Chains A and B, each alone.
Chain A
Amino acid sequence: MMIKERLAELVAESSDGEISAQEALTAGVPLSALGLTSIAQLRLIDAIESEFGVEIDLTDEGVALLDDLDALAGRLAAR
């Protein structure tokens, strides 16, 4: 599975299905605009860190990256 598709599944899991994987993949807007809550965002960070073995830096850039699945997938692919 492509990294972006897997990330979209993690978005769905982290938001308890409030945002579907399909919405996360195709919305074309930042995840926060889809209503990703702070709790869901922190769950997503934890899921990505444990699944991809990375540590997400919560700087301004790091948090902005979390809002954009393409950029995030690109970063994880390049690691």
Chain B
Amino acid sequence: MSADFAACDSGTAPLTWGQRAIWEAIQRTAPDDHYFNFGRVLKVPGRRPAAEVTRALGALAERHGALRTRLGDRAEQRLFAKGRLPVEVVAGDPDKVLDELAATRFDYSAEWPMRVALVADDDAVTHVVLVFCHLAADGLGAEIAVRDLRALILRGHVAGPRAPQPLELAQWQEGAEGRRVAEAAAAHWAEEHRRAPSTMFAEPGGDGSTPPIWRAMLHSPALGLAVRAIAHARHTSTSTVLLAATALLAGRHSGHDTCAMLPIVANRFRRDSLGIVSTLSQEGLFTLDVSGEFTDVLRAAGPAAMRAYRSAYHDPADRTRVVSAESERRGEPVHPNCCFNDMRLADPGPAPCTAAELDKALEDSALEWPMSQDMLNCRFCVHVTGEGVSLTADTRYLPRAAMERYLLDLESLLVETARR
């Protein structure tokens, strides 16, 4: 089957800042760039035949230009007015279907940036599985697509104004206001780079495992409770608690008093970017003196995080220029190779908890190794999701035993702080 779309707009534009940033990461991770694919499952309301759901999918692509955009010849985005989105109809577990759809890299110039499967039971579609190319959307952009698809299935239209479009965003970023934002961000990047270590995990720590990139995932309800309790006691957000603890331990494990970390920032702070399906998320640069006690480090982390988040909305060309200048000044390449991505879609917020609750929750902690691969554009990546905290690292710089120790230290630091 296919979902056909026929919109009015087409054209080409430079890649947006967010697209350029993810495109650079994709190129550095190829051929393992399926790493950046991700998906969503929509449970279909009511009993709908496949034809009705594919009509809604066509309307979704008409509404959001990102879903009918491919990469042009010279790293530009090319928006098509008309096309057919292939749709598979399958049976089975929607999460497994998602994993299969996401397992291969996208053909960025020849394939639509959203893969679709309908999970059907008899004559009705129970779930729509969507897998996104990261050039088209980030996590929050995908949420908007899913929300709009649901409205289109239920009501045939999406209430409210037309959605903002990536081509308009590219034009704004190139215009006077975009340049002003970019220049303020570039000044922050230059200033923070001055005090950042050249890289966080500089020392090869042996031969590494085969393949070299591994992910350790810590499922720890106790860590979750502790983060909320600390945020409550210290009047800060759960995200800042996680970032501060991650940075402090990255400093201790790599032997640096100043931690330099690249938080992945949503960049959906302006009213005109709230409803857009596109990739806005980019790295910010966060540096922090982590030589003191955790509670002192946490106090300084709040404002430092806000500055890093604001300057994450930047032009990658400015960043390249700043990084080259700093690398030249030092006579060695400068890059933190250390990133942090809080991917939680729902933040449970600050809340107190007792020592007894923490003790009980600790019994349910479990660590697993869900993934390994050859290539990655970073050495040390912490991801926070609703499931837990994971560390994806290059084992040539941080062996698997040290990765495990890092995650367990993170849990102890947070739980012990929450107890006090």
Contact = CB atoms under 8 A, between A and B. Distances in A.
A binds B: yes
Interface in A32-62: 32-33, 35-39, 41-43, 45-47, 50, 58-60, 62
Given A39-B266, A45-B269, A59-B303, A33 B235 contact: yes
**On chain B, which size bracket covers the interface?**
20 to 34
B114 to A, nearest CB: 24
Contacts of A45: 269, 306, 310
Nearest to B239: A38
Given A35-B349, A35-B350, 7 more contacts: A32-B236, A37-B349, A41-B237, A42-B309, A45-B310, A59-B303, A63-B303
A30 B240 CA distance: 16
Interface in A16-33: 30, 32-33
A67 interface: yes
Contacts of B302: 63
Contacts of B303: 58-60, 62-63
Contacts of A62: 303
Interface of A: 30, 32-33, 35-39, 41-43, 45-47, 50, 58-60, 62-63, 67
B105 interface: no
8 contacts: A32-B235, A33-B232, A38-B309, A41-B237, A42-B269, A45-B269, A58-B303, A63-B306
Contacts, number: 56
Contacts of B266: 39
Contacts of A41: 237, 306
Contacts of A38: 237, 239-240, 305-306, 309
Contact of B269 (A35, A46, A59): A46
Contacts of B237: 32, 35-38, 41
Contacts of B270: 46
B335 interface: no
Contacts of A50: 271
Contacts of A36: 237
Interface in B250-289: 266, 268-271
Nearest to A43: B269
A26 to B, nearest CB: 18
B110 to A, nearest CB: 35
Contacts of A37: 237-239, 347, 349
Contact of A42 (B300, B306, B349, B350): B306
Considering the complex of A and B, which 4 residue pairs feature the smallest CB-CB distances, nearest first?
Answer: A35-B349, A63-B303, A42-B269, A58-B307
B280 to A, nearest CB: 12
A36 B349 CA distance: 8
Contacts of A43: 268-269
Interface string B279-320: 000000000000000000000101101110110000000000
Contacts of A67: 235
Contacts of B231: 32
A19 to B, nearest CB: 10
A8 to B, nearest CB: 17
A62 B303 CA distance: 8
Interface-central residue, A33, A42, A60, by most chain B CB under 10 Å:
A42
B295 to A, nearest CB: 15
A57 to B, nearest CB: 10
